[in-house]
Amino acid sequence: MNKENLNAFKKELAGVLVVPIADLDHQKILRSLPTWDSLAIVSTIAMLEHHFNVEVSGEEIESCQTFGDILALTKHTSS
């Protein structure tokens, strides 16, 4: 993901999670966010597919523990 797409991704995910963009560093533990729940997982999947043409399953997103894990997942599943 290039820097422009990374910034767009962070902005979209921050919107889904209702957190400041600055809070999303690579080590950010997703479960530490009160808004990281099943709705956030579904919304993240939809956002990835719609905005970035990346298809992931709920299980794949649920297995991610950090923001960096989601980024790594998108690198391996880009269409």
Instruction: Say whether pLDDT at 1 is over 90.
Output: no
Contacts with 21 (C-beta within 8 Å, 6 or more apart), sequence order:
10, 11, 14
pLDDT digits (tens, 9 = 90+) for 2-40: 788 888 989 999 999 999 999 999 999 999 999 999 999
> Which domains does the chain possess?
3-77 (1.10.1200.10)
pLDDT digits (tens, 9 = 90+) for 48-70: 999 888 999 999 999 999 999 99
- Quick one: pLDDT at residue 2? 79
Number of other CB atoms surrounding residue 35 within 10 Å:
12
Regarding pTM above 0.75, the answer is yes
Instruction: Say whether pLDDT at 79 is over 60.
Output: no
